[in-house]
Each structure stands twice: as C-alpha cells, then as structure tokens.
Amino acid sequence: MSNYPSTSANGTLAWRIAEDLYPSCDSTVSPHFEDELADEGGPPRFLQELETKRRHNRLAAQRSRQRKKDYLRHLEVEISALKKQVARWKAMAEIYEGMLQAHGLSLPVPAMQSIKPTC
C-alpha cells in the first residue's frame, strides 16, 4: 500500500491511498495506522510532525523574505546617499576648476573628463 499527502478543502493535511497510481497494491489500511488514529483521537503523530515541520519551514521562509526586503531597502538607501555624495563632489570639483581658471591656471586633465561615470 502506498500513501501520499494531499491537502483537503479546509487546508488540513490528509493521507489518501494511491489506488489509482498503484492498482496492484493492497488498498486496506494497516492495523497500526487504525490503532494510532483511534488512540490519539486525531491524525497520527507523523502527520502532526509533518504539519509542524511545514509550519516552521513556512515561518522561516517568511522571515527570510523579510530579511531580503530589509536588505534591499538598506541598499537602496545607501545607493541614494552615494549618488548625492557623487553629485556634491562633482559640484565642488566644478567650483574649484572655475576658481583655478579665474586665476589663470589650468588643470593638466579637465576634471570632468577624468571622472568616468559608472552608471
């Protein structure tokens, strides 16, 4: 007999016998499985453990996705700050270049030509 998990309409985990997949298999429920259902008054322990493991995994995945979002927000803020800093330095370079030219001095390499944009 072969069992496989499925999700019922209300979202709880259920086990079905794979008669359609394995027609030659015995489709009776094992006595151990029936005893376990009767003793606990609910799903067998392995089903509870499976649901617990899936719940923990789902929560871990949610936390991972939240950490990723937080990290991306942090990077976006950092990129924005760096762009502002680049703009400020470019403006300062232009001011100092103008001051040098006003005093009759020239730069060996034009300041703005030596700065190669990366984006």
**Max Cα distance, the chain (Å):** 101
| Burial group, residue 55, by CB count within 10 angstroms (0-12, 13-18, 19+) | exposed
103-112 tens-digit pLDDT? 888 776 655 5
Which amino acid does the sequence have at 7? T
Where is pLDDT greater, at 36 or 77? 77
Tell me the average pLDDT of the chain. Answer: 75
**Within 13 A of 94's CA, how many CA atoms are on the CB side?**
7
**Within 13 A of 77's CA, how many CA atoms are on the CB side?**
6
21-30, 34-43, 78-87: which range is least confident on average?
Answer: 21-30
Residue 63, pLDDT score: 98
What six digits make up the tokens of 66? Answer: 């939240």
DSSP 8-state symbol, 104: T
Residue 44, pLDDT score: 80
Do residues 27 and 17 touch, judged by C-beta distance below 8 A?
A: yes
pLDDT at 79 over 50: yes
Residue 45, pLDDT score: 85
